[in-house]
């Protein structure tokens, strides 16, 4: 009964990250605020990380994709941190 619960959670995390990226990107296009751009980039990378997680744990179980997942998460957080620092100088 609960065998599909982890898959549903992984897919919902991907969908949520992708939706946040889309919404932040739309807000950036309307307002032009640079912090929205960096936040959108961060959520795009987080969505990609979640998609790699889905492939790692559900689709391609023979290959360990832990390193790409970690690197995507690191890139996402680094992008947001760079945006905070860049925006703080203004």
Give the pLDDT mean for 53-82.
92
CA distance 46 to 33: 20
**Number of domains within the chain:** 1
Q: What is the pLDDT of residues 33-66, one digit of tens each?
A: 999 999 999 999 999 999 999 998 888 878 889 9
Query: What is the spatial distance between Cα 69 and Cα 53, in angstroms, rounded to a whole number?
Result: 7
Instruction: Supply the range of the domain harboring residue 34.
Output: 5-88
| Percent of residues, the chain, with pLDDT higher than 90 | 70
């Amino acid at each position: 009964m609960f065998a599909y619960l982890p898959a549903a959670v992984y897919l919902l995390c991907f969908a949520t990250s992708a939706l946040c990226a889309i919404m932040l990107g739309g807000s950036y296009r309307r307002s032009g605020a640079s912090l929205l751009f960096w936040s959108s980039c961060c959520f795009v990378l987080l969505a990609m990380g979640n998609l790699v997680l889905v492939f790692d744990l559900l689709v391609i179980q023979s290959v360990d994709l832990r390193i790409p997942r970690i690197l995507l998460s690191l890139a996402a957080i680094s992008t947001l941190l760079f945006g905070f620092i860049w925006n703080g100088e203004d």
